[in-house]
Chains A and B, each alone.
Chain A
Amino acid sequence: MLEIKNIVKQYANHRALDDVSLSIPESKIFGLLGPNGAGKTSLIRIINQITAPDSGEILFDHQPLSGQHIAQIGYLPEERGLYKKMKVGEQMIYLAQLKGLCKSDARKRLNYWFEKLDIGSWWDKRIEDLSKGMQQKVQFIATVLHEPRLIILDEPFSGFDPVNAQVIQDEILELNKKGATIIYSTHRMETVEELCDNIALINKSKKVLDGSVRDIKKKYNNQTYLINYLPSTLSVDELSNEGLFDIHAHIPNQDDDQLRIRLHADSTLNDTIRHFLDKIQITQIKEIVPSIHDIFIQTVSKTPSI
């Protein structure tokens, strides 16, 4: 639903975004990853039309992004903030009205959310009287109250305890199930695999990686396997087969030994197993699939400095 094409954003002394192109599919959860200062927030601000790109364009439903799309976007910024002295209910209605909702609709939906998250008693409280976690919850509701089709969440789980983080995560998944497209920006990888369908990795103002989580993992799968076997009299050298694989490590354990091998590009797992069959008693073979976390670290540390 969102097509980001060749976005460049130049600030006085550095380039925040350098020719970034992304495609965010409808009704998916899109992970926008990258270390601090990579340009994620700059990109998000451009999508929110808070700032404009120096060049490039963004298409929302195949139309150039414009003011009419504001009502269809919900944004939870990383730096949270609400009017401290204003009452919760009043403030939420105000924020929803700014997004183009009428007062009575805002009130209706707010009642629904307050009931759902069991915070109805907060209506007349001032924001400053709420705890930090409570404020976060309120702000999350403010983000989604106008039922945006595109929800942009910048580090949505920071500041939540595990219980409430789970509550919010469930809400995000439910919204997604109902059809909302979600851009989830983070530099914490734990939740990415669980939540995201697609990801893009931005580092040093450039997009370095993007695609579906499955494809990326497949691409970074380097045919590494762990083979457990019963202790054998054969030495590691006697087990090796340079035509098929390299041995990365040999780890002797109490009950069994372990080999970490990486297959050559043209060899198959079957050939490898055949090679081992008459030599050792295999107890377990496991493929080591790189986590998004590993890929992230690997990619970021590989990117050359500008």
Chain B
Amino acid sequence: MNKILLILQREYMTRVRKRSFLLTTFLVPLFFIGMYVGIIFLTKKSFEETHTTVYIVDQHGEIGPLLKSAKNITYISSNKDLQEQLSSLNNEDKNTSILVIPKDFTNHPNVEFLASNKPNVSTQNDIKSNLSDILRDFKYQSLGINTDSLKNINTTVSINAKEITSDGTTKDSNTEIAMGIALALSILVYISLFLYGSQVMRGIIEEKSNRIIEVIISSVKPFQLMMGKIIGIGLVGLTQFVLWILLSFVLAGIASTFFVSKSELSEQVMGAQLQDNGSEAIAKSGNAMNSISPEAWAMLQSVNFTEIIVCFFIFFLGGYLIYSALFAAVGSAVDSETEASQFTMPITMPLLLTYALSFGVLMNDPHGAVATWLSFIPFTSPIAMLVRVPFGVPLWQIIVSALLLIIGFLLTTWVAARIYRVGILMYGKKASYKEIVKWFRYKS
């Protein structure tokens, strides 16, 4: 036990002291915040730049005056004919264009849009929707329908979704926020399982190719070395997450003191809480943050962050232990990383599959049969269960899944350790699946 601690300590210290660890720990949150700021900035800027002045050459006569200038488009009725307007267009600055409305527009709704540079898509869409509104009104009128009374009919329905909890009370439920969090969790777990799992594998390949392995296992049991490595690297991962959480609080604090007025403060705090769960995706999607309203704030508060964080740590750790054990077995079986890919592919398939499914069936139907089954199978539950948690999962399911995860991790570790103890001593032998099965069967 003491020796596992020594190994763990070395694995942990050598990694945490690395420059790359510090860089990722401090730069990744900055990168995401920078990206968020950048997206807002660019979006704003692009709005400013798409402003277009449109000269209308109205051959129909009645349409032109109905077009109303908006934020991005200024309509100007042209009093010149098309040729003159075209020649004057070349002298104007680049965000100017000509809209030609033909005589029989109401029968053949096809207009020409002439711009000196490539016509901007959003401007075109704006013009298209403006014109189709006008055309619709025209048609209603020709059919004798009163457009004013039509406009008064409002068919927008708003849903106030409530979730009934087990004790019979209702609580606000917001599927979109849950989806955002689920998505973020899925991405985060997928990436970090891969990241830290392959670090375990690389560490083992390094020891093997360095040939230090023989010295080490003349002092400790292979199992101790493997577990020390797995736990040590796992702790590196946890350290990183905890630092990220702390860091995002600090950054949020700094941001709120310097840049944000009091009303926006709550937004920032929320941003920080979202970051806690690694839900950069929500932040990225932007509109969730931009259009935050008191109601949305209340809904965000309805999300049980404590539950999500606890589940995240349980399922991340469980998944990490399972997959890093498999990665360890692979690392012991090969001599180089290039050789490893043929084995890492199949073992990470369940992970990849669940990850892909999380964008579809898992998120759309988090309580369906597929999602429920996947959230029980130890190889897929780390992602599947975390995707489901934001939507609310009965406690017994979480407990059963966590127990299965622990059993799964014990089994994989047992299998991996049997392969590992033989594999690390095999140099220059090309490992095949058959070979690995044979190793597994060796008596110790």
Contact = CB atoms under 8 A, between A and B. Distances in A.
A48 B218 contact: yes
A160 interface: no
B51 interface: no
B213 to A, nearest CB: 7
B215 A54 contact: no
Contact of A99 (B219, B438, B443): B219
A305 B194 CA distance: 50
Contact of A75 (B215, B425, B438): B215
Contact of A81 (B214, B425, B438, B444): B214
Interface in B227-257: none
B218 A82 contact: no
B153 interface: no
B395 interface: no
Contacts of A49: 218
B211 interface: yes
A240 interface: no
B218 A94 contact: no
A12 B215 CA distance: 25
Interface in A141-169: 142
Contact of B210 (A83, A94, A98): A83
A214 interface: no
Given A70-B218, A77-B215, A83-B210, A50 B425 contact: yes
Contact of B212 (A12, A45, A73, A83): A83
A173 to B, nearest CB: 23
Contacts of A80: 211
B214 A82 contact: no
Nearest to B421: A51
Contact of B214 (A52, A73, A79, A94): A79
B94 interface: no
A81 B210 contact: yes
Interface string A61-96: 000000000100101010111111110000000110
Chain A interface, DSSP helix/strand/loop, else mixed: loop
Nearest to A146: B219
Contacts of A12: 438
A75 B211 contact: no
> Taking each of A51, A80, A95, A98, which has the highest tally of chain B beta carbons within 10 Å of its own beta carbon?
A98
Interface residues of A, number: 27
A272 interface: no
A50 B217 contact: yes
Contacts of B425: 45, 50-51
Interface string B187-227: 00000000000000000001100111111111110000000
A291 interface: no
B234 to A, nearest CB: 20
Given A70-B218, A73-B218, A82 B3 contact: no
B17 to A, nearest CB: 11
Category for how many chain B residues contact A: 20 to 34
B367 interface: no
A299 B258 CA distance: 86
A97 interface: yes
A29 to B, nearest CB: 20
B218 A75 contact: yes
Contact of B443 (A45, A54, A82, A97): A54
Nearest to A54: B443
B14 A81 contact: no
B6 interface: yes
Nearest to B219: A98
Interface string B392-408: 00000000000000000
A60 to B, nearest CB: 14
B284 interface: no
Contacts of A99: 219
Contacts of B14: 83, 85-86
Interface string A13-55: 0000000000000000000000000000000010011111010
A12 B207 CA distance: 25
Nearest to A71: B219
A169 B215 CA distance: 21
A98 B438 contact: no
B226 to A, nearest CB: 14
Nearest to A86: B14
A-B pairs, top 10 by smallest CB distance, nearest first, are A81-B211, A81-B212, A98-B219, A79-B211, A48-B218, A81-B210, A77-B214, A75-B218, A99-B219, A50-B217
Interface of B: 3, 6-7, 10, 14, 206-207, 210-220, 425, 427, 438, 443-444
Interface of A: 12, 45, 48-52, 54, 70, 73, 75, 77, 79-86, 94-95, 97-99, 139, 142
9 contacts: A49-B218, A50-B214, A50-B425, A52-B444, A81-B215, A83-B207, A95-B219, A98-B3, A98-B216
Given A80-B211, A82-B210, A83-B207, 7 more contacts: A12-B438, A70-B219, A77-B211, A79-B214, A81-B211, A83-B212, A99-B219
